Structure 1
Amino acid sequence: MKEIYTRRSIRKYDNKPVTDEQIHELLRAAMYAPSAGNEQPWHFVVIKDRSLLDEIPKHHPYTQMLLEAPLAIVPCCDSSNLKYDGAFWIQDMAAAIQNILLQAESMGLGTCWCGVYAREELVEKISKMLNLPEHIIPVAVIAVGHPAEKREVRERFRPDRVHYDKW
């Protein structure tokens, strides 16, 4: 799957909207992520409102690309009914986020994954800004748009990081 090797974090975007059909495909891909016990703890806040996109970077220092991006997706965990004492939801959410990034790459869109959870101050600020219920935890902010930059693809495979059977 070439998208695994070609996807890069994009921080510059063209002034072109992401269509509702494209958003649907991104979220559909997210919801096909594996999930412990088929828990599927995810909810997604789709942000198109320019004033809100411009507000987020005032509270999250690593989201400056939202000043150009036409869209953000905030994947959130519904903590009200977690299985396994809540031990695996963050892995479920990370898999859903990765699916969004790879789907976007396959569609010619750019993304940048900006973490929110587990930085309590970011969780509180984003939760308040989006009026999230108490049991909903924002995990990340994903900038989405049409790339206005091309990022170099570098080899990342490191054989020295692979261990067989034991360390």
Structure 2
Amino acid sequence: MTALANVADVLEQIRKVRQIRQYRPDAVPEAVVWQVLEVARWTGSSRNTQPWHFIVIDDREILRQLSQLRPPIAWLAGAPLGIAIVLDGQSEISEAYDEGRVTERLLIAAKLLGLGGGVAWYGDAAQQAEAKRILGIPQERTARSIVAIGYPLSARDPRPSPVQRGRKPLAELVSWNRYGQRRQATPDGSDS
């Protein structure tokens, strides 16, 4: 396997993927949208079922309607583009896993292409049904989320009760060989 020449730069960009909820009004060029979708298409899936269908939404009125499904996703109305993820509805457990994988791929592709992305969950069963109605999705399909994509205006969370930022140290998150078993030092050389 050939290593990327700029692997450190790519890893740093992946590490910096953030949930973006504020976008400039600029449209995302269609060629860039196709690049993002091509990355998503190559996402691995359980038993290679590829259980997804993508609805690209650049109609601001549709994005506004989806943003009104519940208050925490009101920010969606300001996005220039959304990619709704529609799943086959055949296997709840494996499709939930696959949905997470493809969502992260969309976010990473957006970041590497100079964009930002944010995930909005429609909400409970009634809210998901309303999203399906808005988007014309058949009832037997599963539709829980949309990935907004655009040029970031800010990484600040505009919601009234934003979540605390930052990450736990690796020493709190990693065990070796058995749960709770630590190594003497973390990659940065500090004690775990």
Question: Which TM-score tier does this pair reach, normalised by the shorter chain?
Answer: 0.7 to 0.9
Which among 32, 35, 39 is matched to residue 45 of structure 2? 35
Per the TM alignment, residue 37 of structure 1 is displaced from its structure 2 partner at its CA by: 0.9
**Unmatched tracts of structure 1, length 5 or more:** none
CA offsets, 1:26-63, max 9 Å, x none? Answer: 11111111111111000011111111111112113222
Q: Which runs of 4+ in 1 moved over 3 A?
A: 153-157
Instruction: Determine if contact 1:93/1:139 at 8 Å carries over to the other structure.
Output: no
* RMSD between superposed Cα atoms in Å: 1.9
Match for 2:101: what amino acid? Answer: A
Matching of residue 110 in structure 1 with residue 116 in structure 2: yes
Equivalent pairs counted in the alignment come to 161
Q: 1:86 to 1:137 in 2, by over 3 A?
A: closer
Instruction: Determine if contact 1:111/1:145 at 8 Å carries over to the other structure.
Output: yes
TM-score (norm 1): 0.87
Per the TM alignment, residue 157 of structure 1 is displaced from its structure 2 partner at its CA by: 4.1
CA offsets, 1:1-37, max 9 Å, x none? Answer: 2232111111111110011111111111111111111
Name the residue aligned to 1:6: 16
Higher relative contact order (CA 8 A, sep 6+): 1
**Fraction of identical pairs, as percent:** 25
Instruction: Determine if contact 1:65/1:143 at 8 Å carries over to the other structure.
Output: no
**Unmatched tracts of structure 2, length 5 or more:** 1-10, 157-164, 180-192
Larger radius of gyration: 2
TM-score (norm 2): 0.77
For 1:87 and 1:55, locate their aligned partners in 2 and report how far apart those are by CA, in whole Å: 28
Q: 1:5 to 1:157 in 2, by over 3 A?
A: farther
CA offsets, 1:87-129, max 9 Å, x none? Answer: 3111111111100000000011111111237x31221111111
